[in-house]
Amino acid sequence: MDQRGSELHSFPYAHPGRQYYPVVATYVILAANLLVFILMTLAGGSKNIQVLLNFGASYGPLFRAGEYWRLVMPMFLHIGLAHLMTNMTGLVMLGYFLEPLYGYGRFSILYVLSGMAGSLLSMEASSHIAAGASGAIFGVAGAMLITGILHPEAVPRRWKNVFGTGILLVIVANLAFGHFVKHIDNWAHLGGLIAGAVLAWVIPPARLRNSALSGDEPRYQAVFALPVAAVILIAMGVTANYYFKSGEAARLLAASAKMQTMRHTGRALSLAQQALRIAPHDIQAHQELGSLYLEKGEYSQAVRELREALRFNPFSPAGSVELAEAYEGLGNLTQARQILEAACQKAPGDIDTQEALAEVCVKLALYPEAIQHYSEILRQAPKNEIKYSIAQNNLAWLLATCADPRYRDPKGAVEHALAAVKRTQWRAPDFIDTLAAALFANQQFKLAAEAEEKALQMEPGNSNFRVNWDRYRKAAAN
């Protein structure tokens, strides 16, 4: 055996004359996954969403914004130790069978391109953050399926039952498992599987020993492996730069939040703008900047930043509420309503969104819709004392004072207002004011005046309370 041949080994049960390669790439990929997992753990934990994003997890909005390294990095990231161990076990088991047939270079192409295809389909078809090597591993399984069908002569006799249709049941079972189990990214599995099958159809296994070009096969393996290694190293380098910039942006945002609590809004705004310049796609930077503009009453700038924040994080109820507030500030209540309705569809259980939508509906004189949203809050939040009480109070006020008399319900208003006051142990003057209004709507003028007097005693400088008290006393005296 010549020097090149010394890089190969033959299995005793293999076909005579065929060369088989050691599983170099499999163990290099395994080591890379373990190293990245350790780094993620040190950075704050592999289950931390911000850590996952900073390390390049697949996420469609950021990928479409130009962060293309998210095609590569997800196959080296894992969410928790169990996820890592499961995928690495699959990698070693399948890599042990396929890599010897293809060699480290061709196997690397199959693995990495399958992983990239899985990430691409995941980001295009799913709106969730995802990570894991399973797309690439499904690619290996797909390659084993096609290799066994198209090149059965390349497969050692003892491995016949794990190639071709032999692995089909495993593939189908895992796809079915991914379909029925929550939090499994089956889009990545499907993308990797299809890519691996196509690549195995295009790229044949390593050549026979007696082939005219077989002596050059190790050289071709290096030719295949080097571009793959370059792509991975570039993606990791870009990710490292992104990670450090995100960390600096986070420190600036923390300082901005501190300035905001100290009422130094201008300084807080400057720090948030600086953070955004460092990390233009940072979701929190757009959100914080939008909030600061909203606080300053600069509604056009707030809309710009909050829309960008929602583009990167479309499932943020808080972002939707603030964007709706910004549109309200611009006088565009219709747009505010549309944003909140869309947010309610995405997160139907979010109480803040329901509350904001109810308030917008009141301003738009859509009283039945407002009553419906307040009632929905009462149905969803019986254990949330604060939210439940606020919803009861707001619904009571609407039922007592609705501009359209068709939707007034004085009796229901008293029931809700009294319940809200009792829940807060008569310590919320605004709620007591609502109770007074409900009693007045029921023509219980004396009780209304007495309730309003309690609210006024708690806030003697409240001019609205005093006007209401005078009105209720006059009505009681007549």
CA distance 64 to 132: 20
CA distance 93 to 140: 10
- From 221, 199, 229, select the one nearest 32 (Cα to Cα): 229
- Hey, what amino acid is at 350? D
CA distance 103 to 27: 13
Distance linking the first and last C-alpha atoms of the chain? 116
Catalytic residues: 134, 189
CA distance 227 to 163: 28
E runs forming strands in 345-413: none
Compute φ and ψ for 72, nearest 5 degrees: -95, -45
Rg (C-alpha) for the chain, rounded Å, is 32
Residue environment code for 394-426, b if the CB has 16+ CB neighbours within 10 A, otherwise e: bbbbbbbebeeeeebbbebbbbbbbbbbebbee
CA distance 199 to 453: 80
- Tokens for 108, please give them: 């690397």
CA distance 106 to 98: 10
- Rounded to 5°, the CA angle 379-381-383 comes to 125
Cβ count near 470 (within 10 Å):
12
Q: Do the beta carbons of residue 398 and residue 431 sit within 8 Å?
A: no
CA distance 48 to 80: 10
Distances (CA, A) of 430 to 394, 399, 442, 443, 455: 10, 16, 19, 20, 7
CA distance 294 to 326: 6
- From 79, 106, 114, select the one nearest 190 (Cα to Cα): 114
All residues at 6 or more sequence positions from 207 whose CB lies less than 8 Å from its CB, including other chains: 19, 213, 214, 217
CA distance 268 to 323: 20
